[in-house]
Structure 1
């Protein structure tokens, strides 16, 4: 029985770390400029203390006069008579916008630590709920989930709604917002766990919501274009506490879950054997022996349907001509489209087939349209006041602070009207982004992204959710946390088939819509234009803020691969990612228009006097080229040193011709077991035009040196059978021996590694062994009748845990065989360490087994 505990907690207060730096500056300015205690008391009133305000104000004023002026809020809080409660009232009153998070939010970690089911959100728990609360979206809410078929990425957009309740200001650690993703491939509520990602939220004053985005890769199971492939994805948002793995029905206390149907792209190439497996294909056996079954066959590029074919496709469907013929008619009519449409709108009822429009009439008649529908088609081409969202709508936009990408989620609402099914080229949904950086320039064009869409006959009632994303170099847009939050206005315009013009942030699309929002750019050093300082932001898929600068171990969620690290070292290929500030606009689509920046990456052991070693290996990156609204890629590119010993900086995120480097990869460091230990990483950029070298810097202007622990040593397992007990007598024994039902078999085990994560020991095969009981004891203490026996015979240890040290475990085991079936068995020991392997999944895995035969009891 679980003991009942009485929890006593006080009303939440504003702590020093809760106050935004900009608000701190405002409060200090007020206190340092007031001349009388009455001025302070007039602004700050203490509830239930009507006579105390003037006295506290006098003490604040006296302290200020004594020290000259307050330089930080800690000095204010330490004034005798102020303290935490009155400090809270002072901050709220002077800032005029602060709010204290509710008790359940402020003490969430404490409450769930003493009672994991305090809020009653756990389906199975021995703890009784104290205050039932779940799916609360007061502070954060998951608003959209979508999928990009081309890049095979699921995107989610989250709204941060409050100014406080996130653990601290920008200069604190904030609190994590976790998002775990699942996919149901065949809509049977059979969910596959895709992993978890997160971002940091902070107390930030000002307008809300702030929109954040996260993404996760999805290894899509593609099909032939004749088969619609519409899985369902689920995202679960949970503040402060990560949703448990393989629990798709988890209910968060703070957060929510969201399901969305997505569309998987059709196969672009197949293996020869895939074609031969089709029912309609038959080939003689002797010919089959001559065929390379693993050879890739690239499928023919799908056709962009012409206007006559679209007329035939939509002949008996409820898709108007001004929709399905939109882009083709605009191409036919050229610049006259809008003006003619305006004439129809302005002169309704008049015959538009005048001398000036004879060519228009002839063109549409030749294309297959009847004369009677021509006026309606022309009129339908004219944009309406806010864009038509009958077929598609941009629902969310946000900033992915992990990847420095703007993202958007689009909902497709109809089953037709997208220029053909999956076996055709379909049509394009363009999303153009603008930003108001707050520099007085107004809206600045950032770039355009696009997603390919099709007619989907079986579109679910809630529509299909697609996503777009656009990398953006923010290194020159950040500012230190002490200067307050960098909040930026973002505008995105969705336009079907016609890309919004880069020069018009007020463009009204005929099909689509416009959305404005606010994003938060995480803190960083201030960089002036023309400065090419480099910044490493990700190592081994972990944000550098999640890597302990002293131990080199990482704790947190992977940024581009969904895994969770817990004091993890790095092994294998360690991918190093980042940006160089303000690179020149070099990419033209057909070559380079200017000399690009260069860079070098160095590593060394973290020991006194160790020299830096330059990384010189070649490695593969994936590039995406954009010229106007046309995209090429992602495609592979080999990055290698030039004749001067530098890598070439490939990224170009400015202008109408751009090049993206997926994951902004700078280098891939190949490590091995002899390199195990603490290492350091740094880089430098080089401008070959000015011959200037720029070292990587931290936010405070110091040299950026990142420490990482390297571990390429796999766990070492050992497992033995040492004896058995029969009729109360213990005898020696070895592996591969024979025992009788009812014997208690004994053995030893060990799973050793400097960074052990987990291991299990069990009897197999599982079915026949189910009746057995297993006892596992660390150390040398033998199992007794009162020991913990596991039924069925399987025991798992996981780090961190009181019984499993960082370096592993060794001990003894015993197996009761009375209820096991006579059979051949093995005892299997299998485990892994916590190493981030090849910048991706967690763990080097290893195991060992020992066999035995169990005979029927006489």
Structure 2
């Protein structure tokens, strides 16, 4: 790779976007200082690189840690727009279908000066974590599900879709890494499930989803007993010491590993009866308690079975993530159809003001005995939602914090000491800057998935807008459709009440939102009081890591104002333009009448029309002419208010092809369901050709 000095590297970063904008054409007009040979190279990791890839089965999230290595070269300070690190994930389920594109997510990064931490060490690299929600393929617990994940990192340009081998896109400032993961299996054992006893309960829940189990079983002990039986039937079995002793006899896993809980109890000096019970358990299974205790006491920070390999923070969704790997095929207290064991990860944050460590919390991931674990291990991610709000500062004072993570197998870490099975890892993370809040309740910070600062007074998105939690770019002057998520900073107002009013500025109608909604991707639901229409702020990170205060479907094409009304009489509002209509398309062939077959080598003529309130572009294309290329593509200027388009076409049909299509496609400027751009609408017409 061509070597550049520090100054040349920074120039190359600045010239990268202009280079991409011309797509390799007319580059002489740019008068680039950077050699074009440099931009032809791939995988430069001078400024950023991938750390670890992992997966969290509970949340169904792929994770990738990103190491930001330098203090500049990221397009501006924290008070400016900065740039984005994009990660596209692929999964190969090893079922013969090859790599599947799972999607892309981005992280906003900035020029952050390198300061010293409390130990006088440079606060670099800064570690960010990109998380992508996926719908994974699951199997029953009788078969391990161990797909390979590939992550492709790319600075300031989205990696090309369906390009796992990096053959299509430009990957100048990029990195890629593979890892094997384990997807949690189905463990629903039908033979043990009391289906007849809970049949009427299940029917009641399906027909009346607002009813809770407490309501259905109130004053009905037989139904409560049926629920308990069902719970026991679907709970996987926990293997006891004797069962583990038999299981691990041939695998040579020693009692000081699988008997960790019994040995911990002995060390804590239990009463005489409990000590005798544990001693008898060891003796019955031909295990020596004293020898096991001696071996157990010699174990400290042992990474033979599991090892923490990366620690970072999700900048977008505020969470701490520890990625660890499992190194062996056995020693985890049972296979996939059992309860297995737990890998605990405890997180600590060091404050910059007084260098004290704050315990952020502890989370865990279930692990199991899995045959044929690869040499480089299976990778998991432990995710702990955590609100950094009390530690945030204004953008002029970037907050880079040291994070310590402690991995401990099957026993929660105690304090900040290293556990017997596991290790300790530290890294630096950067948290989002503080935003001022007015009144006794939070201001709206985002609506429709977009930060309110990037939505104009006309209710449309502005240039350089990005989705808040994925970092993907939002098309300029986009409207909103589908599900609208309203986000606000809520943790300081936990327990207070609020209402959400919607005013239709076209019709003058108003109403209060009163539907129940899931706050996160776990089953935490916020309910409105049916009479007062009031919700309750949930500031706890576990319940509401997305800071959602409302999720609803306005179902209109009008301009609406969404307002949070607080108990003290203050309020926070934002206007957005709705568009819930798909493009209206027409396509007609005019020179053949009602015929369905056309003559090879002769002209085909027709007309088309496109109607769309917020359109990005439309394209007329065909595969039935000789070249099979677009006939017409028209990109709509962002300041154009026209919504109706029409035209004619004429081309000569292929003399060799038998069938094909002619189609009209329109791409709206519309944010759908607060998370993605509208993927457009296509109207195809099949063409069959015959000899004259």
How far apart, in 2, do the equivalents of 1:216 and 1:798 lie?
A: 33
Match of 1:108 in 2: 16
Count of aligned positions = 631
Where do residues 442-841 of structure 1 align in structure 2 (5 Å cutoff)? Answer: 442-482=356-396, 484-501=397-414, 504=415, 506-525=416-435, 533-548=441-456, 552-553=460-461, 558-560=467-469, 564-567=473-476, 568-583=478-493, 596-604=495-503, 613=510, 615-621=512-518, 634-635=522-523, 637=525, 639-641=527-529, 643-653=531-541, 659-661=542-544, 663-675=546-558, 677=559, 679-686=560-567, 692=568, 695=571, 705-723=573-591, 733-757=592-616, 761=620, 772-773=624-625, 791-792=627-628, 797=633, 807=643, 810-822=646-658, 827-841=662-676
1:380 to 282, 290, 295: 295
Return closer, same or farther for 1:852/1:799 CA change in 2, 3 Å cut-off: closer
Shift, 1:683, TM fit: 2.4
Match of 2:218 in 1: none
Match of 2:182 in 1: 263
Match of 1:336 in 2: 269
Moved over 6 A (4+): 10-13, 355-358
Where do residues 229-240 of structure 1 align in structure 2 (5 Å cutoff)? Answer: 229-240=145-156
Return closer, same or farther for 1:271/1:639 CA change in 2, 3 Å cut-off: farther
Q: What secondary structure does 1:661 align onto?
A: coil
- 1:325 equivalent to 2:325? Answer no
- 1:313 equivalent to 2:247? Answer yes
How far apart, in 2, do the equivalents of 1:219 and 1:806 lie?
A: 39
What is the CA RMSD across the aligned residues, in angstroms?
3.8
Deviations 1:504-523 (A, max 9, x none): 2x222111111222211111
Deviations 1:182-217 (A, max 9, x none): 212226582222222112111111221111111111
Shift, 1:570, TM fit: 1.0
1:243 to 159, 166, 177: 159
Q: What secondary structure does 2:423 align onto?
A: strand
Return closer, same or farther for 1:132/1:519 CA change in 2, 3 Å cut-off: same
Return closer, same or farther for 1:801/1:315 CA change in 2, 3 Å cut-off: farther
Deviations 1:617-675 (A, max 9, x none): 21321568xxxxxxxxx32535223644310123424xxxxx42353321013222342
Shift, 1:477, TM fit: 2.4
Structure 2: which 5+ runs fail to align?
28-34, 116-122, 192-205, 208-229
Contact 2:73 2:111 in 1 (8 A): yes
Contact 1:476 1:582 in 2 (8 A): no
Q: What secondary structure does 1:406 align onto?
A: strand
Match of 2:678 in 1: 843
How far apart, in 2, do the equivalents of 1:548 and 1:141 lie?
A: 35
Deviations 1:786-808 (A, max 9, x none): xxxx6236668485799x99857
> TM-score, with normalisation over the residues of structure 1?
0.66
How far apart, in 2, do the equivalents of 1:115 and 1:136 lie?
A: 19
Deviations 1:538-579 (A, max 9, x none): 322334455456652265554556965322321022111233
Contact 1:155 1:213 in 2 (8 A): yes
Where do residues 48-59 of structure 1 align in structure 2 (5 Å cutoff)? Answer: none
Shift, 1:422, TM fit: 0.8
Deviations 1:588-635 (A, max 9, x none): xxxxxxxx222223444579xx989563221321568xxxxxxxxx32
2:280 to 352, 359, 363: 363
Return closer, same or farther for 1:360/1:490 CA change in 2, 3 Å cut-off: same
Contact 1:384 1:508 in 2 (8 A): no
Return closer, same or farther for 1:384/1:801 CA change in 2, 3 Å cut-off: farther
How far apart, in 1, do the equivalents of 2:26 and 2:377 lie?
A: 37
Return closer, same or farther for 1:440/1:496 CA change in 2, 3 Å cut-off: same
Q: What secondary structure does 1:311 align onto?
A: helix
Shift, 1:163, TM fit: 1.0
Q: What secondary structure does 1:446 align onto?
A: strand
Q: What secondary structure does 1:466 align onto?
A: strand
How far apart, in 2, do the equivalents of 1:192 and 1:821 lie?
A: 32
How far apart, in 1, do the equivalents of 2:631 and 2:607 lie?
A: 14
Contact 1:118 1:131 in 2 (8 A): no
How far apart, in 1, do the equivalents of 2:677 and 2:337 lie?
A: 39
Q: What secondary structure does 2:46 align onto?
A: coil
1:390 to 304, 309, 330: 304
Where do residues 193-208 of structure 1 align in structure 2 (5 Å cutoff)? Answer: 193-205=101-113, 206=115, 207-208=123-124
Deviations 1:88-146 (A, max 9, x none): xxxxxxxxxxxx95321232223444564999xxxxxxx97455432122211110111
How far apart, in 2, do the equivalents of 1:754 and 1:154 lie?
A: 36
Q: What secondary structure does 2:276 align onto?
A: helix
1:170 to 75, 78, 87: 78
Match of 1:149 in 2: 57
Contact 1:184 1:192 in 2 (8 A): yes
Contact 1:822 1:856 in 2 (8 A): no
